Amino acid sequence: MTQTQEIAVSPSVRHITDVIEARIRSGKYPHGRWLPSEREIADEFGVSRIVIKSVVNELDHRALVIRSARCRPVVRNAAKTDLPGEISQPETRRSSIGLWIWPNPRQPGISTIVQGIARTLDPDAFRMIVASPHVTDWTEAARSESQFLLRMAQDRDIVGIILWYLGGETNLPALLKLREARIPLVFIDRRPPAGFSADYVGVDNIHSAEEVVKHLVAQGHRSIAHISNFDTASTVSERIMGYRRALKASGLHYRPELVQHAPDPTEGDPSEGCAALLDTLLGLPEPPTALFAVNDYIALRLNAALQVRGLKVPGDIALAGFDGIERWLPGRPFLTTANQPFERIGARAVDALLKHLTIGSEALSEHVLLEAPLSIGSSTAP
């Protein structure tokens, strides 16, 4: 330490820094976890937060914390002491962020969420641990998720988790373990289970679905079917709500027989399931003239099934989806859809997590809904 630095450190700052250093070296403040907030430390020692900012500067100088923009300092591993005569070298240490994603990080939309997270995280302060279930069965996937969350709760390097949640009420015990460990959670795409307060970043599914259906109504369609799936996620129920809201706003009656569920692609032949679904819809006394699918994957399977039947889209029947996955597929986009801002979802999830790392338990949970703007393709052209 130079003479100038020695003079700049007041006795109060030096005393508080020494106390905190002792707590770090004893393990009371474990490495990989954030320090108490400036307010908490200031209240404990009866000093101003300006003094505590100087304390944090001194802890940084002693290589006891990792500092990053918009983040609360994270404790370094101070277990090792320097040998006599050795020059202390600051340890390079990054805290870990857990990311649980489904169905597959290599899928275009999902990989774009991961890119948004990676581009927003400071690589010098954080590393990202990405995991996803390697099974197609929902029960096994939820079990795999629970195991991942419980491992994260016991990992001293984990300072936060971004979660594409599958487990519903079943995995609440694992979520509560993370809450006990004071590890903040940010849910993406799918809302937290009922009764569990946590940050959430997704899109305004209700409004976006409503805009898709209103577009179909504007094209002259009065009999519009909604093809959902058997997923119990909030995104699915919200898109049905948007569908029904658009019908009501357009003066159209809701007809339950026009809401059908696409077969699970992991069970049997999806093309046969879509063909049977179309048989049901097109055999109605008042068959639909337009189909709105809960996602683009189902919409594209429906399009293939319609072609097999010799029906033209949009000449014989209009078709719309949700997500905007054709942005990453070869050729020109065909579907009318709601384009999810996948990269922004990842970036905003990081912002929410950093808020908790900076403010701590005082930070209130927030739900952030992003716009998924309507993109009109030739599948609904008049």
* CATH value of 3-75 in 1.10.3470.10, 1.10.10.10, 3.40.50.300, 2.40.50.1020: 1.10.10.10
Instruction: Give the model's pLDDT for residue 5.
Output: 35
Instruction: Give the model's pLDDT for residue 211.
Output: 98
276: Cα separation from own chain's centroid:
34
Instruction: Give the model's pLDDT for residue 310.
Output: 95
Decide if 95-203+343-370 and 205-341+374-380 have a common fold.
yes
What stretch of H or E contains 187? strand 185-188
Instruction: Give the model's pLDDT for residue 190.
Output: 95
C-alpha span between 85 and 87 (Å, rounded): 7
Instruction: Give the model's pLDDT for residue 80.
Output: 44
> How many angstroms separate the Cα of 197 from the Cα of each of 80, 160, 194, 360?
39, 15, 8, 15
Contact in structure between 314 and 300 (CB atoms under 8 Å): no
Instruction: Give the model's pLDDT for residue 162.
Output: 98
Instruction: Give the model's pLDDT for residue 271.
Output: 66
CATH classification (class only), 205-341+374-380: alpha beta
Sign of CA dihedral 332, 336, 342, 343: positive
Residue ranges in the chain modelled with pLDDT below 70: 1-9, 68-70, 77-93, 265-271, 361-362, 382
Q: Collapse the DSSP code of 7 into the 3-class scheme (helix H, G, I; strand E, B; otherwise coil) and give the result.
A: helix
Instruction: Give the model's pLDDT for residue 60.
Output: 83
Contact in structure between 353 and 116 (CB atoms under 8 Å): no
Instruction: Give the model's pLDDT for residue 46.
Output: 86
Instruction: Give the model's pLDDT for residue 307.
Output: 94
- For the chain, give every domain's residue range: 3-75, 95-203+343-370, 205-341+374-380
Query: Phi, psi at residue 74, to the nearest 5°?
Result: -110, 140
Greatest C-alpha distance within the chain: 91
* CATH value of 95-203+343-370 in 3.40.50.2300, 3.90.380.10, 3.40.50.1370, 3.30.360.10: 3.40.50.2300
Instruction: Give the model's pLDDT for residue 134.
Output: 81
